[in-house]
């Protein structure tokens, strides 16, 4: 058997390299994995407390991917919570009839609660349905109820059916830095309403086989909406989710996505995390459920990258 294990095939860009000169020394308390993770958590939370530059105008971001199970809702609520923890005022619009974003934020959304359905179908003011999220200051949610399941059919006969959400957001007078719209896993009228209302599209892509399957259709729909309904719409951000550093497949998929979309993919990938999966069952995001977990730290960093990216883009345009 070889005397050493090769290390060149297992790079770890986000973890400090091992100092081989200290191999003969007994490891100190600060050298343990738990200590390193705690240090990273403190540093990341410290960056969150510093705040971020606020955008010049409200950024309306549509989180969409017609493929289910890629982390749309999870990414929407956790990015929103992370941005709010950075000091931003954020509104989450739950456009998915399942109401999972509302559940994760701990917002009441049972039948009879004023919801985004009344805004779209009955032209109710958005301010009448928005609820504050109790665990995160500066975070708000427009919930979805089961009534939204019939909205696709009811919207067909309404005037200006594609732009009803856009008009509701334009009439909302409360100051906001970000609006994140959680879309259903389809390309129907609800998603079209979101694409007409937003300026940026955020696409979560899981680091698994078939990751890019169906993405072409979503991009074609974005092009159609931009050509006919919303000329400002563009794909600004792609977020890699469910990344498992132990598998070669995850690294291959991540590299393939980065090759296809070099400018849109965020540097930080969201790892597979039990804490991320557990948090919604407690009516929380992972940011409040376990703020020191790898999932929470990854979303904090991804939110930071997303926010700073807009500042860099604005400078380039000037």
**Domain-embedded: residue 279:** yes
**Domain-embedded: residue 38:** no
- Determine the structural domain holding residue 187 and report its residue range: 53-317
Other CB atoms within 10 A of residue 283 CB: 17
**Domain-embedded: residue 132:** yes
Helices (H), the chain: 33-50, 72-85, 100-104, 116-121, 151-155, 164-171, 189-197, 215-228, 248-260, 274-278, 286-289, 294-317
**Domain-embedded: residue 208:** yes
Total number of domains constituting the chain: 1
Rounded CA separation 106/101 (Å): 9
Q: What was the pLDDT predicted at 284? A: 93
Q: At what angle do helices 33-50 and 294-317 cross, to 10 degrees?
A: 40
Burial of 226 (0-12, 13-18, 19+ CB in 10 A): middle
**Domain-embedded: residue 197:** yes
Q: What was the pLDDT predicted at 216? A: 84
Q: What was the pLDDT predicted at 34? A: 58
Rounded CA separation 14/164 (Å): 44
**Domain-embedded: residue 20:** no
Per the DSSP assignment, residues forming a β-bridge with 139 are 90
Please say whether the beta carbons of 119 and 75 come within 8 A. no
Pairing of β 131-132 and β 139-142 = antiparallel
Token code pair at residue 286: 């992972």
Rounded CA separation 73/56 (Å): 26
**For the chain (length 318 residues), average pLDDT per consecutive 10?**
44 40 45 58 56 88 90 95 94 95 93 92 95 94 92 88 95 95 91 96 91 84 94 96 90 91 95 93 93 94 90 45
Whole-model pTM? 0.83
Rounded CA separation 185/67 (Å): 6
CATH number of the domain within which 107 lies:
3.40.50.300
Q: What was the pLDDT predicted at 111? A: 83
Q: What was the pLDDT predicted at 97? A: 92
**Domain-embedded: residue 47:** no
Q: DSSP character for 163? A: G
Nearby residues of 235 by Cβ (< 8 Å), 6 or more positions away: 200, 201, 203, 219, 222, 261, 264
**Domain-embedded: residue 248:** yes
């Amino acid at each position: 058997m070889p005397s050493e294990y090769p290390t060149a095939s297992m790079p770890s860009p986000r973890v400090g390299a091992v100092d081989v000169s200290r191999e003969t020394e007994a490891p100190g308390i600060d050298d343990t994995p738990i200590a390193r993770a705690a240090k990273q958590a403190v540093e990341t939370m410290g960056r969150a407390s510093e705040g971020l530059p606020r955008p010049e105008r409200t950024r309306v971001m549509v989180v969409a991917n017609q493929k289910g199970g890629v982390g749309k809702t999870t990414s929407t609520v956790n990015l929103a919570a992370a941005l709010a923890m950075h000091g931003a005022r954020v509104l989450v619009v739950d456009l998915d009839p399942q109401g999972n974003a509302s559940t994760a934020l701990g917002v009441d959304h049972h039948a009879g609660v004023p919801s985004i359905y009344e805004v779209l179908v009955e032209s109710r003011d958005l301010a009448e349905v928005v609820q504050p999220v109790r665990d995160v200051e500066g975070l708000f949610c427009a919930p979805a109820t089961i009534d939204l399941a019939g909205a696709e059919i009811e919207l067909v006969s309404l005037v200006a059916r594609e732009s009803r959400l856009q008009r509701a957001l334009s009439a909302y007078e409360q100051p906001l830095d970000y609006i994140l719209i959680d879309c259903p896993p389809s390309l129907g009228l609800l998603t079209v309403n979101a694409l007409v209302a937003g300026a940026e599209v955020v696409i979560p892509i899981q680091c698994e086989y078939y990751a890019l399957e169906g993405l072409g259709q979503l991009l074609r729909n974005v092009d159609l909406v931009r050509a006919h309904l919303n000329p400002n719409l563009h794909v600004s951000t792609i977020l890699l989710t469910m990344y498992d550093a132990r598998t070669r497949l995850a690294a291959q998929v991540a590299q393939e996505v980065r090759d296809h979309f070099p400018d849109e993919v965020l540097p930080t990938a969201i790892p597979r995390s039990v804490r991320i999966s557990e948090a919604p069952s407690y009516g929380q995001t992972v940011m409040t459920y376990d703020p020191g977990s790898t999932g929470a730290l990854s979303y904090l960093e991804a939110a930071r990258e997303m926010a700073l990216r807009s500042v860099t883009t604005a400078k380039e345009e000037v």
